[in-house]
Amino acid sequence: MKLRIALLLSLVLVASSALAGDRWIPIAGTVGNFHTDTRILNPSGTKDIEVSAYFLPVNATDNSGRVAGTPVKIQIAKRSMKVLDDVVASVFSATGLGAILLTCPDDFVATSRIYAQVGASTLGQFSIAPGPGLAVTKGVVIQLKPSGAFRTNVGAVNPANATTTVTWQLYDKTNAKIATATKTMAAYEVTGPTNILGFFPGIPSGADLSDAWVSFSSTNPIFAYASVIDNASTDPTFIDMSQDTGSDPPVVTPTTKDFNVILSSFDISVNTSGLNALKVGDVVKMTVSCSDGTHGFALVNLDDGTALIPDSLYSAGGASKEFTFTVQKKGNYTYFCSFPSCGTGHTEMVGTFKVN
């Protein structure tokens, strides 16, 4: 019985210590019309707590000096919620954007709302302040709209006292990876929020970003998020990261399949069994030559009339020609002599194959 009680107490202590520690508000600020409200809850019914708070501005590179500096102390009575409106200005006497680090040896809960004061003000975007155990080295941020009536910003926080390299990848509506960006974050650096269109270099013109998503991998665990903003109302939606449990499928480079095509009177010699074994996606190289007379050659998709090898003339002793193409569609294909004056057996110089 004593062993069971000791085990139970140890489990309770482990659970309690897991709830205590750091909480990160990844984006907060007082900038123009934008402000941030924060709430901190002390769930204990028996104990007052003290939370240490640090404001880490964006684009300050290394914030380790600020984390090592003197924090702002926030007292929270037992079983109470502390209201911190316009937190960057009211608590830190600061302006601009950044992240907020909250730390306490006791358990607490923190949330934030960043909103725009436009007219009667907008509802804004809410987020729960995660603990360091929720930072990830591989993550995704989905349901983004960086074009049209919306714009999308991405941001990140490096909660480690170490340099972190992050590789970001942008996918369009068709799930094609269209851009990559590699960023180095210093200790406790805060990145963003930055418009995706400027964050990723080399986005192809015409890319459909009406439903885009982002993945990232980093050398140390980070927090990442996106802010999708209505261009008309300025209403923002906070989209938190999720852990990425997979990876892109491996890139398979197809093997080129070679065919020698020899034209003669009146025959087209080619590996017909190999042609009938072709599949969509196969890369084909055909080398066409002539052994006697003068003949033409062309290869056409019978279903839509697309010419994979255009009509050309070949003569005995003349140079061969090489053609390389990728099989794009299933269907019926034909190859034939395209020079009717080659002789009386011209009509026999034809063949077909099917791609399944």
Return the CATH number at 260: 2.60.40.420
Domain with 317 in it: 256-355
CB 277 within 8 A of CB 180: no
Cis peptide before 216 (omega within 30 of 0): no
298 in any annotated domain: yes
119 in any annotated domain: no
Distance CA 334, CA 323 (A): 16
pLDDT digits 0-9 by tens, 211-236: 999 999 999 999 999 999 988 877 88
Q: Does residue 31 lie in a domain region?
A: no
One-letter amino acid at 80 equals S
- E-assigned strand segments in 174-255: 177-185, 190-195, 212-230, 236-240, 242-243
Widest CA span in the chain:
106
pLDDT in tens, 5-61: 343 333 333 333 334 689 999 999 999 888 999 999 999 999 999 999 999 999 888
Q: What is the pLDDT of residues 344-353, one digit of tens each?
A: 999 999 999 9
- Please report whether residue 288 resides in a domain: yes
Decide if 101 is inside a domain.
no
Buried-exposed string 150-179: b where 16+ CB fall within 10 A, e elsewhere: bbbbbbbbbbbeeebebebbbbbeeeeebb
Q: Name the nearest CA neighbour of 345 among 264, 289, 285, 274.
A: 264
Residue 317 lies in a domain: yes
248-285 pLDDT, tens digit each: 888 888 889 999 999 999 999 999 999 999 999 899 99
Give pLDDT, residue 11: 34
Inside any domain, residue 308: yes
Residue 14: DSSP 8-state: H
144 within a domain of the structure (yes/no): no
Rg of the chain over CA atoms, in angstroms? 33
Q: How many domains does the chain have?
A: 1
Give me the half-sphere count of Cα atoms (radius 13 Å) on the Cβ side of residue 287: 8
